[in-house]
Amino acid sequence: MSAILIDGKKIAEEIRAELTRKIATLAGRGVVPGLAVILVGDNPASVSYVTGKEKACAEIGIQSFETRFPEDVSEARLLDKIAECNRDPSVHGILIQLPLPGHIDERRVIGAIDPAKDVDGFTPINLGRMLLEEPCYVPCTPLGIIEMLTRSDVPLNGANAVVVGRSNIVGKPLANLLIRKSINATVTVCHTGTKDLASKVKAADIVIACAGRPGLVSADMIKPGACVIDVGVNRVPDATKKKGYRLCGDVDFDAIEKIAGWITPVPGGVGPMTITMLLSNTIDAALRISSGK
Ligand code: NAP
């Protein structure tokens, strides 16, 4: 048996094609959606993520406004920039590329974003609204994973889902979305304090690995026919590559592909969906703001 490959790139393209209709509605109102992108320092992974997001924005017709700050920028300067973006009518979404340097209080900086422009869905207001199932911006990676699962017809109602990782941006919001009545999965969340991870994963119909640990999920942990979503993006040294590394996820793709029912690749799985949900949230923000809602 060989798993159905959930092609994140292809699903992302379908969604982007759907989004062009919303862009046309905005054009009818004379509005070009705008995303402010704030980058601190020159961490290669962050620079590459920001470049990818800006390229996707340009392709679909979202204007991006990038501000780069040096690694030693003060928190006050960052807060000033956010206040400026909150006021700017051409900015509908604000993205702060994480992580921020240690001297900056990440929570205070994120909390300063106007929730109406918080297209990453990281502010306490949006996370609270998500929990209450009120209209809000949902974090892009969990939102993209739900889109992937539903568009691939993976059975979710009553499924046992195991989420490996409990970060505020991936694991926690994802677990929360999966237990919504409209999705109806039964969720177990694992972390570094979990005893016997293997037995928890083995019981799952859906495994979502978001730990950032290459090789954490091996084939012997997977129930035959399960759906395996690999969120991890890890740089593993590889002398045969020009860059000196290769990207891999948290699961042993080659072995698991032979027994799972569905699987996502890395790269080309969750990554393109995350970017597409950022585009979607930014376009929705422009629609809401321009309609005065
Ligand atoms: P994070 O903040 O470092 O959180 C990792 C989580 O995994 C933590 O809750 C941690 O547990 C848990 N964990 C780590 N090692 C574990 C182990 N051995 N057993 C069980 N649980 C373990 O990471 P993140 O920001 O959520 O990102 C996770 C991964 O997804 C990274 O590789 C990141 O690059 C990737 N990512 C990809 C996308 C995409 O679009 N493809 C988007 C976001 C993130 P504790 O809480 O106990 O420490």
DSSP labels, 189-229: EE-TT-S-HHHHHHT-SEEEE-S--TT-B-GGGSPTT-EEE
Q: Average pLDDT over the chain, rounded to whole?
A: 97
Query: Domain of 42: which CATH number?
Result: 3.40.50.10860
Q: Is 70 exceeded by the pLDDT of residue 136?
A: yes
Q: Is residue 240 part of a domain?
A: yes
Task: Assess whether 61 and 96 both reside in one domain.
Answer: yes
Q: Is residue 128 part of a domain?
A: no
Q: Is residue 2 part of a domain?
A: no
Q: Which two tokens stand for residue 179?
A: 């237990």
Task: Assess whether 259 and 206 both reside in one domain.
Answer: yes
Over residues 232-242, the mean pLDDT reads 95
- The SS3 of residue 44 is helix
Q: Is 90 exceeded by the pLDDT of residue 11?
A: yes
For atom 34 of ligand 1, the residue with the nearest CA is 233
Q: Is 70 exceeded by the pLDDT of residue 287?
A: yes
| Catalytic (active site) residue 97 | yes
Over residues 15-26, the mean pLDDT reads 97
Query: How far, in Å, from the CA of 15 to the mean position of ligand 1?
Result: 26
For atom 31 of ligand 1, the residue with the nearest CA is 212
Query: How far, in Å, from the CA of 210 to the mean position of ligand 1?
Result: 5
pTM listed for this prediction:
0.97
Over residues 151-177, the mean pLDDT reads 98
Q: Is 80 exceeded by the pLDDT of residue 150?
A: yes
Q: Is 90 exceeded by the pLDDT of residue 293?
A: no
Q: Report the pocket of ligand 1 as residue ranges, CB < 6 Å.
A: 141, 164-167, 169-171, 190-194, 197, 210-213, 216, 231-234, 270-271, 274
How many structural domains does the chain have?
2
pLDDT for residue 292: 82
Q: Which of 81, 117, 120, 172 is catalytic?
A: 120
Query: How far, in Å, from the CA of 206 to the mean position of ligand 1?
Result: 17
Query: How far, in Å, from the CA of 130 to the mean position of ligand 1?
Result: 21
pLDDT for residue 123: 98
Q: Is residue 17 part of a domain?
A: no
Task: Assess whether 152 and 100 both reside in one domain.
Answer: no
Question: pLDDT tens digit string along 60-113?
Answer: 999 999 999 999 999 999 999 999 999 999 999 999 999 999 999 999 999 999
Q: How far apart are CA 170 and CA 70, in angstroms?
A: 27
Q: Is residue 234 part of a domain?
A: yes
- The SS3 of residue 5 is strand
Atom of ligand 1 nearest to the CA of 166: 9
Domain end position, chosen among 116, 131, 162 = 116
Task: Assess whether 100 and 175 both reside in one domain.
Answer: no
Q: Is residue 191 part of a domain?
A: yes
Task: Assess whether 103 and 169 both reside in one domain.
Answer: no
Q: Is residue 189 part of a domain?
A: yes
pLDDT for residue 88: 98
| Catalytic (active site) residue 63 | no
**Residue 279 — pLDDT band, cuts 50, 70, 90?**
very high
Instruction: Identify whether the C-beta of residue 33 lies closer than 8 Å to the C-beta of residue 286.
Output: yes
Q: Is residue 284 part of a domain?
A: no
Q: How far apart are CA 240 and CA 248, in angstroms?
A: 15
Q: Which of 97, 200, 205, 250 is catalytic?
A: 97
Task: Assess whether 165 and 256 both reside in one domain.
Answer: yes
Task: Assess whether 111 and 144 both reside in one domain.
Answer: no
Query: Residue 265's domain spans which residues?
Result: 140-272
Choose the residue to mutate in 107, 148, 167 for probing ligand 1, maximizing ligand atoms within 8 Å of C-beta: 167
Over residues 175-201, the mean pLDDT reads 98
Atom of ligand 1 nearest to the CA of 192: 47
Task: Assess whether 63 and 103 both reside in one domain.
Answer: yes
**Residue 1 — pLDDT band, cuts 50, 70, 90?**
low
Q: b/e map of 120-159 (b: 16 or more CB within 10 Å)?
A: bbbbebbbebbeeeeebbbbbbbbbbbbbbeebebebeeb
% of the chain surpassing 70 pLDDT: 99
Over residues 12-22, the mean pLDDT reads 98
pLDDT for residue 57: 98
Query: How far, in Å, from the CA of 212 to the mean position of ligand 1?
Result: 4
